[in-house]
Amino acid sequence: MQRVLDSLRLSLVDENVYDDLEDVLSPYSDLDETRMADLTARLRLALADLLPAVRRTHDQLPAFARAIELRDAQPPEDAHDALVHLRHLALTTLGLLDLLTA
């Protein structure tokens, strides 16, 4: 039953999140500041959508605490640091998606 609920929860995540993850994590991505800000906002929303489903079964994992920390953190102003932050958001989002579909 819990698996069904988690699957339903995943369906509430914007399916474009996978495209966003690819944009961020691709070795060929070349993101300008505007696109980085947009992706950061979108991934923060994705984390907010995923966290309730993850909380039910995986709230003791470091990935859960890291997701909360990243969701709540303000992106750095420095362009390089903002890109690093965005990639951390993407990897954490991908990790939560993996937890829920495993």
pTM of this prediction?
A: 0.81
Q: What is the mean pLDDT of the chain?
A: 84
Q: Could you state, in order of their start, the residue ranges of all structural domains in the chain?
A: 2-101
Return the axis-axis angle of helices 79-101 and 62-72, rounded to nearest 10°.
Answer: 140
d(CA 44, CA 93): 9
Structural Rg of the chain based on CA atoms: 14
Give the pLDDT score at 81: 94
Minimum mean pLDDT among 18-22, 63-67, 74-78: which range? 63-67
Most confident of 7-11, 65-69, 83-87: 83-87
d(CA 65, CA 17): 21
d(CA 101, CA 77): 34
